[in-house]
Amino acid sequence: MRHALAPGIGDPEGLDLRDCATQRNLSQAGRRQAREAGATLKSLGIVDAEVFSSAWCRCIDTATGLELGPVTVLDSLNSFFRNQGDSAAQTHDLGRWIEARLSGPASKPAVLVTHQVNISGLIGRYAASGEAFILGIDEDELRVLDSLQFMTP
C-alpha cells in the first residue's frame, strides 16, 4: 500500500527519519484516508494483520491509522526517491521477502505501507496515495491479483 495523502513531492532538504518535522507528512485528509482504509480492510475480513512500514513518518502514520496491529519498520520499504537508497537492492530484497512470506505457512495477513517509487519498482505500476495492491504467487512469479483504491473522504 502506498502511504495515505501527503501533499507535495519528495521531502524537504535536511530530511531526518528520526524527526517528522523534517519530512512531508500526512494531511488531515490523509489521516482520515488511513482510518477509512483500515475500516474497509476490516469490512473485508482483515481485522488483525502483521503491519510493516517504511521508516518515513507518513508511512508509519498510515500504518498506525489502519488500526490492524502493531507496526514494524522494514528497511526494504524505505523510499529510494531521488537516490535516497539503493533501488535495485531494496526492490530485490522486498520481492524476496514477499515471496518467502507468501510461500510460507499461513499466518496473519501482512499489510505493507511504502512509497510510490517502491511499488512501481516492484510491480511496474503507479500507485496513487492510499492505493493498495493484493499480491500473490502465480507460476513462481510475484503477481498483482487485485487492487484497492482508498479514496480521500
Q: Any residues with CB less than 8 A from the CB of 62 and at least 6 apart, and which?
A: 1, 3, 4, 26, 30, 34, 37, 53, 113, 130
DSSP at 81:
G
Instruction: Indicate the pTM of the whole model.
Output: 0.91
The pLDDT tens digits of the residues spanning 82-112 come to 666 678 888 999 989 998 888 888 778 999 9
Mean predicted confidence (pLDDT) in 133-151: 88
Domain 20-149 has CATH 3.40.50.720: no
The pLDDT tens digits of the residues spanning 6-28 come to 998 888 888 888 999 999 999 99
What's the pLDDT score for residue 40? 95
CB-based contact 54:115 (threshold 8 Å) = yes
What's the pLDDT score for residue 38? 97
3-state helix, strand, coil split of the chain in percent (to 5) is 40, 20, 40
Q: What are the structural domain ranges in the chain?
A: 20-149
What's the pLDDT score for residue 153? 59
